[in-house]
Amino acid sequence: MENELTYEQAMSQLEKIVSQIETGDIDIDCLSEKLKEAKTLVSYCQDALKHVEKDVAKVLSEEE
């Protein structure tokens, strides 16, 4: 996965994979690879959200 991937790009890729799975547009031979990619994207998004949450908490605590 790219180092320059943004949260929005990761979510867009995840949405595309989910849509392909839901509509059956993924070849069974590619399903495992797409699921691994989705797992990596979910992890990336979770990490990004945790980082933002920590930053917001830090900023809010500095204002008090």
Residue 53, helix vs strand vs coil: helix
pLDDT score, position 63:
72
pLDDT score, position 11:
97
**In contact, 41 and 1? CB cutoff 8 Å:** yes
Rounded-to-integer distance, Cα 11 and Cα 30, Å: 20
Q: Whole-model pTM?
A: 0.81
Residue 1 above 70 pLDDT? Answer: no
What average pLDDT is seen over the chain? 92
Q: What is the CA radius of gyration of the chain?
A: 16
Q: What is the pLDDT of residues 3-13, one digit of tens each?
A: 689 999 999 99
Report residue 17's pLDDT band, with 50, 70 and 90 as the boundaries. Answer: very high
Distances 5 to 22, 28, 44 between C-alpha atoms, Å: 24, 27, 9
